[in-house]
């Protein structure tokens, strides 16, 4: 057996896991495409026509490197949030920026706080840089802010992660609660406030970005409401010192010119985003109604997906998920108990929702007994 190349001790110690197995991988495994793709919280409602046009224009110059400073887009983001240019960072999605934040502040062996069952890509990056995760259980399907704060204080963690609204449950905290949480954070702790789903949240959960607080970095994405998940683009806002730190380690040409052009145009198309948000709200209501009709509970959601309680334990939900996949429906589910009693269904188009409802009803009836 060859031992070359020699890995670092850290890489040697890591398991070969990926946070999410892509639907394409699953399709290759089953030898067939899915009929309904409602598992990855992608948008079913397309991209702004203005963004499509801008992206086609960018294709014409694809031989040129992209602007590594993404000046136009960062300016537009800064103007929108009333912050300065040096307080805005772009990345290849929130996922990439999460990795760089961990890399910036965590040395091997340091504690990092998150919630048990929360967004696994963050955990993957923490492991990849040698951090030690302290994961706090949810309370009533919501992130437990008090327990999160206790864990930060107890471990003296430099880094804590909070998604609001949350994935995988879709629940959220109002702005006042998140602000109170931030107020209580120690000076030495950095909060990653992941707002991937903020466009779908009620106004009560949204609060202006204060780029003066060194304890917070806010992250948003073009992957959800803007419908550009495959373009890989998101942004972060934080004080210039934090953004400058990330600037020392970021991949300078990592956000491609098509994505930059599309994001800039999409940012200017508020009407389109509002229409997506409306459609998503309609779809969520449909899923809640469907669950109720089948005698199942569903979790209130401020995102583009709904967690449906499959009516048993994790094994029951996993069996249901496997049956759905057999029938050509791509859905995912939370990874740990007690959240894993649910399956997580992204809002699809009206046609996808109807097809999902039909297959889901049949599978629920066949997998039988509800408690
Ligand atoms: C909470 C949360 N953060 C981040 C992401 C990924 O965002 P991006 O596509 O910008 O990397 C997701 C995607 O599902 C998510 O659910």
Instruction: Record the tokens describing residue 289, joined without a space.
Output: 């109604």
pLDDT in tens, 258-313: 999 999 999 999 999 999 999 999 999 999 999 999 999 999 999 999 999 999 99
Q: Among 37, 98, 121, 200, say which to mutate for ligand 1: greatest number of ligand atoms within 8 Å of CB.
A: 121
Count how many domains the chain has. 2
Tell me which residue range forms the domain holding 306.
18-46+271-367
Domain termination site, one of 244, 268, 292? 268
CA 151 – CA 240 distance, rounded (Å): 28
- Statement to judge: residues 192 and 128 lie in one domain: yes
- Statement to judge: residues 230 and 342 lie in one domain: no
Q: Among 21, 42, 119, say which to mutate for ligand 1: greatest number of ligand atoms within 8 Å of CB.
A: 119
- Statement to judge: residues 60 and 197 lie in one domain: yes
Residue whose token pair is 């997998």: 367
- Statement to judge: residues 312 and 219 lie in one domain: no
Instruction: Record the tokens describing residue 114, joined without a space.
Output: 């998150």
- Statement to judge: residues 124 and 243 lie in one domain: yes
Tell me the CA distances in angstroms from 245 to 56, 102, 106, one per residue in order.
34, 11, 13
- Statement to judge: residues 136 and 213 lie in one domain: yes
For residue 332, list its beta bridge partners.
Answer: 344
Instruction: Record the tokens describing residue 330, joined without a space.
Output: 């791509």
Residue nearest atom 16 in ligand 1 by C-alpha distance: 167
Measured from the Cα of 163, ligand 1's closest atom is: 1
**Is 11 among the domain residues?**
no
What is the residue-wise DSSP string for 292-317? HHTT--B---SSSEEEEE-SS-HHHH
**Is 3 among the domain residues?**
no
CA 238 – CA 58 distance, rounded (Å): 29
Q: Which of 98, 138, 104, 100 is nearest to 120 (CA)?
A: 98
Measured from the Cα of 96, ligand 1's closest atom is: 11
Q: Which pLDDT score, from 0 to 100, does residue 368 have? A: 65
CA 247 – CA 38 distance, rounded (Å): 35
**Is 6 among the domain residues?**
no
What is the DSSP-derived secondary structure letter of residue 66?
Answer: P
The count of residues in the chain is: 371
- Statement to judge: residues 76 and 163 lie in one domain: yes
**Is 13 among the domain residues?**
no
* Element spanning 217, H or E: strand 216-221
- Statement to judge: residues 126 and 167 lie in one domain: yes
Q: Tell me the pLDDT of the chain averaged across its residues.
A: 96
Q: Which of 263, 252, 233, 261 is nearest to 92 (CA)?
A: 233
**Is 107 among the domain residues?**
yes
Residue nearest atom 1 in ligand 1 by C-alpha distance: 167
Q: Stretch 337-348: mean pLDDT, rounded?
A: 98
CATH, residue 354: 3.90.1150.10
3-state class (DSSP) for residue 170: coil
In this prediction the pTM is 0.97
Q: Which pLDDT score, from 0 to 100, does residue 137 have? A: 98
- Statement to judge: residues 160 and 97 lie in one domain: yes
Q: Which pLDDT score, from 0 to 100, does residue 362 have? A: 97
Residue nearest atom 7 in ligand 1 by C-alpha distance: 94
pLDDT in tens, 212-227: 999 999 999 999 999 9
3-state class (DSSP) for residue 211: coil
- Statement to judge: residues 131 and 178 lie in one domain: yes
pLDDT in tens, 151-204: 999 999 999 999 999 999 999 999 999 999 999 999 999 999 999 999 999 999
> Has residue 2 got a pLDDT over 80?
no
Instruction: Record the tokens describing residue 313, joined without a space.
Output: 């334990």
CATH, residue 213: 3.40.640.10
Q: Stretch 247-254: mean pLDDT, rounded?
A: 96
- Statement to judge: residues 248 and 291 lie in one domain: no
**Is 9 among the domain residues?**
no
Residue whose token pair is 């109170």: 180
CA 41 – CA 38 distance, rounded (Å): 7
Q: What are the phi and psi torsion angles at 212 (to 5°)?
A: -95, -10
Q: Which of 69, 101, 107, 113 is nearest to 88 (CA)?
A: 69
pLDDT in tens, 40-79: 999 999 999 999 999 999 999 999 999 999 999 999 999 9
**Is 1 among the domain residues?**
no
């Amino acid at each position: 057996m060859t031992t070359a190349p020699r890995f670092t001790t850290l890489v040697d110690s890591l398991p070969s896991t990926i946070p999410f197995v892509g639907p394409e991988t699953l399709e290759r495994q089953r030898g067939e495409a899915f009929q309904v793709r409602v598992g990855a919280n992608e948008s079913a409602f397309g991209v702004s026509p203005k963004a499509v046009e801008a992206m086609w224009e960018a294709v014409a110059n694809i031989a040129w490197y992209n602007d590594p400073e993404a000046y136009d887009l960062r300016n537009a983001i800064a103007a929108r949030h009333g912050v300065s240019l040096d307080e805005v960072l772009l990345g290849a999605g929130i996922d990439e920026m999460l990795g760089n934040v961990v890399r910036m502040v965590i040395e091997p062996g340091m504690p990092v706080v998150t919630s048990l069952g929360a967004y696994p890509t963050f955990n993957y990056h923490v492991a990849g840089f040698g951090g030690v995760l302290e994961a706090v259980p949810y309370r009533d399907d919501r992130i437990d802010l008090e327990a999160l704060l206790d864990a930060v204080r107890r471990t003296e963690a430099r880094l804590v992660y909070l998604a609001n609204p949350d994935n995988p449950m879709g629940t959220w905290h109002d702005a006042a609660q998140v602000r109170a949480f931030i107020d209580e954070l120690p000076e030495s702790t950095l909060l990653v406030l992941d707002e991937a789903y903020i466009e779908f949240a009620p106004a009560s959960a949204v609060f202006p970005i204060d780029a003066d607080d060194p304890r917070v970095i806010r992250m948003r994405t073009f992957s959800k409401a803007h419908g550009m998940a495959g373009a890989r683009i998101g942004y972060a806002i934080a004080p210039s010192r934090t953004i400058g730190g990330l600037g020392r380690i970021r991949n300078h040409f990592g956000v491609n010119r098509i994505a930059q052009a599309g994001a800039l145009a999409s940012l200017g198309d508020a009407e389109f985003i509002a229409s997506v948000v409306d459609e998503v709200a309609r779809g969520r209501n449909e899923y809640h109604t469907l669950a109720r009709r089948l005698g199942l509970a569903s979790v209130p959601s401020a995102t583009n997906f709904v967690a449906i309680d499959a009516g048993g334990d994790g094994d029951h939900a996993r069996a249901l998920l496997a049956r759905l996949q057999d029938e050509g429906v791509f859905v995912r589910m939370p990874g740990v108990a007690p959240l894993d009693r649910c399956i997580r269904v992204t809002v699809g188009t009206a046609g996808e929702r109807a097809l999902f409802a039909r297959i889901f009803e049949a599978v629920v009836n066949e997998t039988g007994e509800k408690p």
